[in-house]
Amino acid sequence: MGRAISDGVSDAYIQDVTVHPEWRGKGLGKAIIRSLVERLKQDGVGWIGLISEPGYEGFYQGLGFGVMQNYTPFLLKRENA
């Protein structure tokens, strides 16, 4: 499973990509990413980003993604956390 959030014009983020552990290693994750990227490109989106959990950098680099230098992700703190 996976999804892309886009402004429909120029930018998109791929997120929530996951494959059940029993199905990993069969190319499903790659197929999901490639399908999302292809659709975004067809829609004219030129900037496609994602945030990965640690340890998956090589997976995404193998699909053409690179580490975003000079950017720091932020998360809004929960009031009751």
Q: Which of 14, 58, 17, 62 is nearest to 39 (CA)?
A: 14
Residues of the chain with pLDDT under 50: none
Cross-strand pairs, 3 = 15
Domain boundaries 3-61, corresponding CATH code: 3.40.630.30
For 29, residues 6+ apart whose C-beta sits below 8 A from its C-beta are 17, 19, 59
In the chain, the percentage of residues whose pLDDT exceeds 90 is 84
The strand pair at 3-6 and 47-50 is best described as unpaired
**How far does the chain reach from its first CA to its final CA, in angstroms?**
29
pLDDT of residue 81: 59
pTM of the prediction? 0.86
